[in-house]
């Protein structure tokens, strides 16, 4: 039986994996939240990896507050880069396959076509820079790794755009949402399914991949679709608003090319609209 450690297990993606794990009893799951394993602590990591042979580690732990990262650079780099280096080193030492999640924010958004894995990175905010450094540490440390860059994650868990829009709709609020960025929303449950599939198949096509749902939209388009599937279009006023200023700069365009993913894994990539509908119908 394979043993799989999931760090950052109480975050959004960690919870999606936990939900799937209930049906996957051929895997010995170790779900560890930040109070059980702080990935910045080498002693926490040594203790866990010293206890038993871990075959796979899915790292869902991350500093994900893009706005706060701008003034909290040291912490963002400590969790998204330095801790990831420690994790890569201990996985290498124990022959554990490391599965790590990164972001579309490693790009500057100046491209006009879908970003491929080997396109030039140039993060324009601290979060993106810290995540890119984490990727590089992994690539320089351990051969048996998977890094999945994903974008605009949402699910029934945690704080995310999908849940915010549904909550605002329940309050009959007026929503002013930007059309300034183009990207692809990704149902975190679908990403979780892919990660579990890789482990079950013992897939060895290690490397860097892009994964999101298919298609592209703006945050305004995403909000409109959430309201459409939840039949709330008539209860909410949805405006386009590009005057809203954020602390962290965001890439204007960050659609990820998934050709490499489809070549190396047998995976159906649902359209982002179908993925929203599926989440709504399942909850
Ligand atoms: N959310 C998105 O839109 C998005 C987009 C692209 C990529 N990603 C990437 O996808 C991955 C999963 O994101 P998510 O949405 O699931 O994030 P999330 O909900 O914010 O979860 C992150 C988890 O990491 C934990 N954590 C933070 N510092 C830690 C530490 N030092 N040691 C152990 N755990 C720690 C947090 O625990 P506490 O709450 O207890 O601190 C939290 O449970 C991340 O790598 C993220 O960078 C996310």
Using CA atoms, how far residue 152 sits from 83, 104, 161, 181, 205, in Å, is 23, 9, 8, 11, 25
CB 61 within 8 A of CB 68: no
Quick one: pLDDT band at residue 274, thresholds 50, 70, 90? very high
Quick one: pLDDT band at residue 97, thresholds 50, 70, 90? very high
C-alpha angle with apex 258: 77 to 125, nearest 5 degrees? 25
Instruction: Give how far the C-alpha of residue 217 lies from the chain's centroid of Cα atoms, to the nearest Å.
Output: 18
Q: Is the minimum distance from the CB of 7 to ligand 1 under 6 angstroms?
A: yes
Q: Is the minimum distance from the CB of 184 to ligand 1 under 6 angstroms?
A: no
Mean pLDDT for the stretch of residues 45-60: 96
Among 10, 14, 60, the mutation site with the greatest number of ligand 1 atoms within 8 A of its Cβ is 60
Among 11, 69, 78, the mutation site with the greatest number of ligand 1 atoms within 8 A of its Cβ is 11
> Minimal CA–CA distance to 211: which of 136, 281, 280, 275?
275
The DSSP bridge partners found for residue 217 are 183
Q: Taking the alpha carbons of 114, 118, 119, 122 in that order, is the dihedral positive or negative?
A: positive
Mean pLDDT for the stretch of residues 11-29: 97
Catalytic one of 63, 127, 162, 209: 127
Q: Is the minimum distance from the CB of 251 to ligand 1 under 6 angstroms?
A: no
Residue 157 designated active-site: no
Instruction: Give how far the C-alpha of residue 19 lies from the chain's centroid of Cα atoms, to the nearest Å.
Output: 16
Cα torsion through 239, 245, 251, 252, rounded to 10: 40
Which atom of ligand 1 is least distant from the CA of 149? 7
- Helices vs strands, H then E, count in the chain: 11, 12
Q: Is the minimum distance from the CB of 62 to ligand 1 under 6 angstroms?
A: yes
Concatenating the DSSP letter of every residue in 77-133 gives: HIIIIIHHHHHHHHHHHTTPEEEEEEEGGGS-S--SSPBPTTSPP---SHHHHHHHH
Domains in the chain (CATH in brackets) are 2-159+185-213+255-269 (3.40.50.720)
Q: Which pLDDT score, from 0 to 100, does residue 242 have?
A: 79
Q: Which pLDDT score, from 0 to 100, does residue 234 have?
A: 83
Q: Say how far apart CA 187 and CA 10 lie, in whole Å.
A: 17
Q: Is the minimum distance from the CB of 40 to ligand 1 under 6 angstroms?
A: yes
Which residue's CA is minimally distant from atom 38 of ligand 1?
34
Quick one: pLDDT band at residue 275, thresholds 50, 70, 90? very high
Q: Is the minimum distance from the CB of 97 to ligand 1 under 6 angstroms?
A: no
Q: Say how far apart CA 8 and CA 61 lie, in whole Å.
A: 4
Quick one: pLDDT band at residue 194, thresholds 50, 70, 90? very high
57 φ/ψ angles, rounded to the nearest 5 degrees: -120, 120
Q: Report pLDDT digits (tens) over 106-118.
A: 999 999 999 999 9
Percent of the chain with pLDDT over 70: 100
State the helix-helix crossing angle for 126-141 and 83-93, rounded to 10 degrees.
20
pTM recorded for the entire structure: 0.97
Q: Report pLDDT digits (tens) over 209-251.
A: 999 999 999 999 999 999 999 998 888 899 998 787 899 999 9
Which residue's CA is minimally distant from atom 10 of ligand 1?
101
């Amino acid at each position: 039986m394979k043993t799989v450690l999931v760090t950052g297990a109480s975050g959004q993606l960690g919870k999606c994996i936990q939900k799937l794990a209930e049906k996957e009893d051929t895997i010995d799951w170790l779900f560890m939240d930040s109070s059980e394993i702080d990935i910045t602590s080498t002693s926490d990591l040594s203790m866990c990896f010293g206890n038993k042979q871990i075959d796979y580690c899915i790292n869902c732990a991350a500093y994900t507050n893009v706005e706060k990262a701008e003034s909290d650079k040291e912490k963002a780099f400590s969790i998204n880069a330095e801790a990831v280096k420690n994790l890569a080193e201990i996985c290498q030492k124990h022959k554990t396959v490391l599965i790590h999640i990164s972001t579309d924010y490693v790009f500057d958004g100046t491209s006009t076509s879908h970003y491929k894995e080997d396109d030039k990175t140039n993060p324009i905010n601290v979060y993106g820079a810290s995540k890119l450094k984490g990727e590089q540490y992994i690539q320089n440390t351990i051969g048996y790794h998977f890094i999945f860059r994903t974008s605009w994650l949402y699910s029934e868990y945690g704080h995310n755009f999908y849940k915010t829009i549904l909550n605002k709709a329940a309050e009959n609020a007026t929503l002013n949402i930007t059309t300034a960025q183009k990207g692809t929303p990704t149902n975190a449950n679908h990403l979780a399914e892919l990660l579990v599939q890789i482990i079950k198949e013992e897939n060895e096509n290690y490397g860097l991949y892009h994964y999101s749902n298919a298609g592209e939209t703006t945050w305004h388009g995403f909000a409109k679709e959430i309201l459409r599937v939840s039949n709330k279009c008539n209860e909410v006023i949805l405006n386009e608003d590009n005057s809203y200023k954020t602390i962290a700069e965001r890439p204007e365009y960050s659609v990820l090319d998934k050709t490499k993913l489809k070549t190396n894994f047998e995976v159906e990539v649902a359209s982002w609209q179908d993925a929203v509908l599926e989440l709504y119908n399942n909850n």
